[in-house]
Amino acid sequence: MQQRYFLGVEKSLTGRAWVESLDTKTQAIATAISQRHQLPELLGRVLAARGVDIDGAVQFLTPSLRDMMPDPNALTDMQKAAERLAKSIADGEKVAIFGDYDVDGATSSALLFRFLTHFGVPAEIYIPDRIFEGYGPNGPAIDGLIDDGAQLIVTVDCGSTSFEALEHAARRSCDVVIIDHHQIGEKLPHAVALVNPNRQDDLSGQGHLAAVGVVFLTLVATLAVLKAANNPLAKSCDLLAWLDLVALGTVCDVVPLKGLNRAYITKGLVAIRHGRNPGLQALMKTARLTGPPNAYHLGFLIGPRINAGGRIGDASLGARLLTLDDPIEAEAIAVQLDDLNKQRQAIETDMLAEAIAEAERDIGNGPGPSVLITGQEDWHPGIVGLLAARLKERFQRPAFAISYKPDGVGTGSARSVPGVDVGAAVRGAVDAGILVKGGGHSMAAGLTIERAQLGRFREYLEEHLSSAVDAARSQNQLRIDGAITANGATLEFMDLVERAGPYGSGHAQPVFAMPAHFIGPAKIVGSGHVRTSISSGQGARINAIAFRAADNPIGQAMLKNREGTFHLAGTFSLDHWGGRPSVQFRIIDLARPSVRR
């Protein structure tokens, strides 16, 4: 069957073919969704294109915790974890929370801290230094926490592979509960309980949750134990008030937005708008966020500021900020994180130029390697994950970025494309003796490698990932949900699109084509973004932006455009600048209209 191209675009400026998001079968489902539930046709199309079936449409549009919440005890070891946490609360033990230095770790730590302090438990949060300690528990940190009086250590968003450190805790007679979500093998570390829906003997089906989502389930189970024991403070514990933290960590860890995750984010955004967390409010102020916060704001404005502390500053700043009730203290830390984020952006710009140059040399004039590996000795180890993400976006293949120490040992991060599991590849390389350590998810991973092993690692990745990468890259298509003109891009249209949100990993924001529109004068703003306005020639004009596009074909076409029209593809959002909402278009691809009919 001959491929039908949307608006006839076989090859855009970025080399992609534009195709209809619906095939014959899903088009029929879209129509049925619209007719059965009396929904607009556009909404039916968006839902069907994202795998929503006829019976599940209403629940998808109105996700609730009541409908989505599983039995927490379906997770392996959950009852053990809940009973041990309840014992700490009943006995007034000091609890140390050992978290990761990213947003998921910070929100997980803050959520558990707020729960424990509600019951009067003396709790402290420990976030390791990314550069000097690395990821996860380590012996000296464990000693420090125990020496400081910790009778229980709870690791959040880490710990599943911390064998030596947790053996050390056992030797010192300190109990450990692990709450995590990273993929792990059959070997398990020493702990009272290991709650991780991605452990191999867990059949709960909740492996898509971020760590903060698993922590929330653990607190639901713990609260049930406390209520059964008639704890006097259990009835006044409002877990729903802390869904703002759960939404933030879930969005920023880029986990699939399906099932319980959708309910977490939908209800968490409502909690954020209530403004109960001074830390989040301070971050939104420093980010100059206008209008009601949404998932995009969490992922691209709030999250990077929390991450900045873990990348180039004090790793504990983010978690500390999210536990504060004093608005003045919260604002001071938020300003500090904002400054660190600006420093991070400057460092990233310089490193990215070097990484792109190295990648282009590796690719040369041919197809290049299936997986890109870049690395330098002077790169900041806290930025390599961002470099990997940028390289993956630019070259459309998995990418690793590694920061080497003078002794030749490097720490790095990887980001992948759909269909290519870098986490499994990294764990396999560890098992093969190529990497010192490593692990992660299908779309992201971290590793430690000796520079002398780099050649073996390249060969390993080519052998194990090349076919998956080839298959992923052969589908160089942009799926279009529908066509619209500037005249049709109204606030009412945006309300309709947002009904199917929130959007993110596994539930992509709808992509619309704007046929034969004029692009106005363009200029570079911020860190290489290109801003302009677009019109259909019928009077309506909307603002548009192409992010990080100044040096790519899209941005160059916009900046050099003198006359004629383009087909544009992209996503819509609301801009609340000045207090009045207006529609803005994010350009992700351009194509010249064909002269053929």
Please tell me the predicted confidence (pLDDT) of residue 19.
95
CA atoms within 13 A of residue 397's CA, in its CB half-sphere? 23
Report the interhelical angle of 422-431 vs 454-474 (nearest 10°): 150
Domain presence at residue 581: yes
DSSP assignment of 330-378, as one string? HHHHHHHHHHHHHHHHHHHHHHHHHHHHHHHHHHTTS---SSEEEEETT
Confidence of residue 473 (pLDDT cuts 50, 70, 90): confident
DSSP strand pairing (152-156 vs 123-126) = unpaired
Residues 417 and 487 in one domain: no
pLDDT at 597 over 50: no
304 pLDDT above the threshold of 80: yes
Of 438, 453, 475, which closes a domain?
475
Query: What is the structure's pLDDT at 596?
Result: 47
Residue 486's Cβ-count burial label (10 Å; 0-12, 13-18, 19+) is buried
528: left (phi over 0), alpha (psi -120 to 50) or beta: left
CATH of the domain at 390: 3.10.310.30
Is 82 found in the same domain as 50?
A: no
DSSP string, 121-177: --EEEE---TTTT-SS--HHHHHHHHHTT-SEEEEES--TT-HHHHHHHHHTT-EEE
Between 580 and 464, whose confidence is greater?
Answer: 464
pLDDT band at residue 339 using 50, 70 and 90 as cut-offs: very high
Q: What percent of the chain has pLDDT over 70?
A: 99
CATH number at residue 545: 2.40.50.460
Q: Above 80 in pLDDT, residue 1?
A: no
Q: Are residues 12 and 150 in the same domain?
A: no
Single-letter amino acid code for the residue at 565: T
pLDDT band at residue 333, thresholds of 50, 70 and 90?
very high
* Helix residue ranges per DSSP H, 205-255: 211-228, 243-252
Helix pair angle (103-118, 243-252), 10° resolution: 160
What's the number of domains the chain is made of?
4
Contact status, residue 315 vs residue 128, Cβ threshold 8 Å = yes
Domain boundary among 475, 492, 521: 475
Q: What are phi and psi of 175, to 5 degrees?
A: -70, 150
Q: Of 443, 475, 507, at which residue does a domain stop?
A: 475
Domain match, 427 and 495 both: no
Distances 102 to 12, 196, 340, 417 between C-alpha atoms, Å: 36, 18, 14, 21
Evaluate whether residue 358 is within a structural domain.
no
Report the pLDDT value the prediction gives residue 3, as an integer from 0 to 100: 63
Residue 357 counted as domain residue: no
Residue 334 and residue 221 share a domain: yes
Stated length of the chain? 597
pLDDT for the residue 595: 53
Six-digit token string for 137: 């528990």
The answer to the question of residue 45 being in a domain is yes
C-alpha–C-alpha distance, residues 113 and 353, integer Å? 40
Q: What is the CATH number of the domain that holds 78?
A: 3.90.1640.30
d(CA 413, CA 392) in angstroms, rounded, equals 12
Least confident of 70-79, 204-213, 222-231, 251-260: 251-260
Backbone angles phi, psi at 32, to 5 degrees: -65, -40
The answer as to whether 197 is a domain residue is yes
Mean pLDDT of 360-386: 93
Whether 368 contacts 358, CB under 8 Å:
no
Q: What is the mean pLDDT of residues 511-536?
A: 94
The residue to which tokens 């992922």 are assigned: 299
Report, as an integer, the average pLDDT of 69-93. Answer: 98
Any domain includes 349:
no
Average pLDDT of every residue of the chain: 94
Residues 316, 395, single domain; the answer is: no
Burial environment of residue 406 by CB neighbours within 10 A (0 to 12, 13 to 18, 19 or more):
exposed
520 touches 560 (CB < 8 A): no
Residues 138 and 72 in one domain: yes
Residues 403, 512: Cα–Cα separation, whole Å: 39
Residue 372 maps to a domain: yes
87-119 confidence digits (pLDDT tens)? 999 999 999 999 999 999 999 999 999 999 999
The residue segments making up the domain with residue 277 are 67-340
Q: How far apart are CA 584 and CA 524, in angstroms?
A: 17
- CA gap 136, 158 in Å, rounded: 5
Judge whether residue 537 has pLDDT over 90: no
Using DSSP's 3-state secondary structure scheme, residue 275 falls into coil
